[in-house]
Every structure is written in C-alpha cells, then in structure tokens.
Structure 1
Amino acid sequence: MNENMNQHMHSLTIGFLLLLLLAAAWSDIGSRRIPNILVFPGAIAGVLLHALLPQETGGLGILGSLAGWGTGLALLLPLYLLRIMGAGDVKLMAMTGAFLGAQGTVGALLCVLLAGGVLALGAALWQGKLGVLWRNLNVMLLGALAGGAMTGLPVSGKPGESARGAAAESAGSLPYGVAIAAGTMAYLAIDGWH
C-alpha cells in the first residue's frame, strides 16, 4: 500500500470509531443502555483494522489493539464492580481501547473522566441537585481520606447525620456513554487524530 492509501485507511479507522461512539452515546441517552451488538463487533473491527494498518501510519497490530482493549476493560472494571458504572460503559471503553491501543486508552480515559465530571455537574445543575452532588462528593472524599472508616462522624453539623447516611440520596444517573464519546473525541483532537 502506498502512503496516501495508508493515511486514508487510518482516517477511516478513526472515523469508524467516532461513528461507533456517537451511536453508543445516542443509545445511552435514549435507553440508558449500550448494546452488545454495537460494542462486540466494534471491538473486533478495531482489532482487524489495526491488523491491516501498517505501523508507520498509526497501525497498532493485533497485539497492540488487544492491549488497548484490555486496558480499557481493566481501567473501568473496578468501577463496575463497585456499582459506580454500568457494564455497557466498561465494554464501550474496552472497544475504544481496541482502536486506540493501551497508551491512547489511558490518555482518552483521562479526558473521559473530565467529561464525566462536567456531565455530572451539568446534570446536577439541570435537575436542581447540585447540593446533593456536593454532599456526596464530600462524603466520598472524607471516606477516602479516612480509609473507608467514615461511618459515624457527623458531616453536616446535623445531629445524627453520619457519612454513611449523608450519601444515601443519589444525585441521579448519567448516560456515561456520552462522557466516553466526548472524552475520546477530545483526546483525539488533542492528540491530532494520530
């Protein structure tokens, strides 16, 4: 393959990833689900495309693509196990990793987490739950600083309100597929689409 053809194939690979991310975000907004019929074939396509794409033009090879898939899975799986994130979100990040490789997945995840924070803040403002979000964040930070032993300390000055009880109210759920799509797109823009 000549250089122009390789660059064109790389652009198509990134374009295909972006289409998959937009479809996942749309589905997550509409149904709060990211379908397996999207993420599993998407991950396979990412691996196959990188098997064909030469390394000189951004190709990762099969092992590099699989490493990205595993990185995406490994980084978000703990959040799923803690019931902070849905399984579809984890699978979507793994699929994204198949297109970006391990290093790109870590960079994209940083942007995804920032996008998720902005999304959470916007949703809390929109729903009038900014106070709940702030209280839950304080409880999480206090718990982390105390090594998870924050069960009986008062957090708001109200008698009988402990750290455990203070975070009982949810600030709402988010279509995190939107954050994954937005954060990945931001990462690709920052990285210059490489």
Structure 2
Amino acid sequence: MGSLVIWVLFGYLACVTIPLAYSDVRERRLPNSYVLPGFVIVFWAIAVCWIHDSAPPIASLLGGLVVVLIFYCGAALGGFGMGDVKLATLIVMSLGLLSWWAAFVAITLAGAVGGVAGYTVLWRSAGRREAATGGAALRARGVPFGVPLLIGLWGAAVLWGVVFLWGAE
C-alpha cells in the first residue's frame, strides 16, 4: 500500500509540473489551485506510510518544517514568493517519503539552477559591470523560482531511482 500512495503522489506532481512551470514563467505566480491539492495528497500519503510502517516518516515531516521556516524567512526578506514557499514545502515533504537524501538533493539542485538562472539574467540584462556590483536590475525584476524547484524535484527523483532502485540489483 505504501508504494501505491507514492505513485499517486508523484503522479499528481507530474500532472501539475507543466502548468506550474508555465504559470511561473509567464505570470510569476504558482496558483494555489495546483499546489494546495498536493498537500492533501502528501498528508494522505504520510498517514498511509505512517500506518503501514508503524513509524512516522520523519524525513518528510521534519524536512517540510525546516523548509517552510527557511523559505518563509526568505519570503519575508523579499527573496521568494509565498507560492515558492508552498511548492518547496510540498516538494520536500513528497521526496522525504522516499528519503532525506532525495529531499536534500532537490533543494540543493533547485538552489544551483536558480542561482545560475539569476546570474544569467543579471549578466545578460545589465552587463558584466552591473553583475559585479550587486545587481539592482535582478532585484528589480526577480527570477521565478518555481521552475528551478520543479527541476530539483524531478532531478532528485531520477537520481533517487538510479541510486536506490537500480543500484540495489
């Protein structure tokens, strides 16, 4: 039963990945109508895994708490939108059901992709001198972080599959 709920959860995430990425790039927002139903599914999956394994999925619960606190602080400082906070939390809680390693890789990969995207936008729009001086142009425009989060999600899921599933044979 535990693996079935994981398939349902990641099936849902697969279904909303393209609409979320499109909305984030085009409108710079991650609609609640895509993100919030994922929380219903992830909490259902956590409950089923908890009952099935007789132990709480600590990586999912603790990882979600840590990420929501860190990203909320980032949102309060103007670095993220609240849609990014919710999506990052959903991603970490989902991957935390697989392993703490997958959740960590997803956030690390998202940070790397987002950093490269931000620097690229800064460098292309304002020139090398502006990039070296702190980048007021980037702060004024911002870079949507939902797409890097989604890249981190699927990159970590694929790496987890390669390392833990195919590596077990």
TM over 0.5: yes
In structure 2, the partner of 1:27 is 23
Contact 2:110 2:149 in 1 (8 A): yes
Higher helix share: 2
Query: What percent of counterpart residues are identical?
Result: 22
Distance 1:170 1:30 in 2: 19
The unaligned stretches of length 5 or more in structure 1 are 137-166
- 1:178 aligned to 2:147? yes
In structure 2, the partner of 1:77 is 72
Contact 1:121 1:130 in 2 (8 A): no
> What is the DSSP-based 3-state SS (H/G/I as helix, E as strand, rest coil) of the residue aligned with 2:41?
helix
Pick from 98, 102, 117: which aligns with 2:115? 117
- 1:44 aligned to 2:40? yes
In structure 1, the partner of 2:167 is none
Distance 2:130 2:60 in 1: 40
Distance 1:89 1:108 in 2: 14
How big is each residue's C-alpha offset from its partner over 1:77-103, in whole Å with a ceiling of 9 and x where there is no partner?
221121111111111111112212282
> What is the RMSD computed on CA atoms of the aligned residues?
3.0
How many residue pairs are counted as aligned between the two chains? 157
Distance 1:99 1:77 in 2: 18
- 1:135 aligned to 2:133? yes
Larger radius of gyration: 1
Distance 1:120 1:74 in 2: 23
- 1:89 aligned to 2:75? no
How big is each residue's C-alpha offset from its partner over 1:96-153, in whole Å with a ceiling of 9 and x where there is no partner?
12212282433311111011012213323543544423321xxxxxxxxxxxxxxxxx
Distance 1:52 1:116 in 2: 33
Distance 1:134 1:192 in 2: 39
Structure 1 stretch 18-27 or stretch 122-131: which is displaced more? 122-131
Q: What TM-score, normalized by structure 1, do the two folds share?
A: 0.66
Return the offset for 1:182. Answer: 1.0
Distance 1:120 1:31 in 2: 17
Return the offset for 1:43. Answer: 1.3
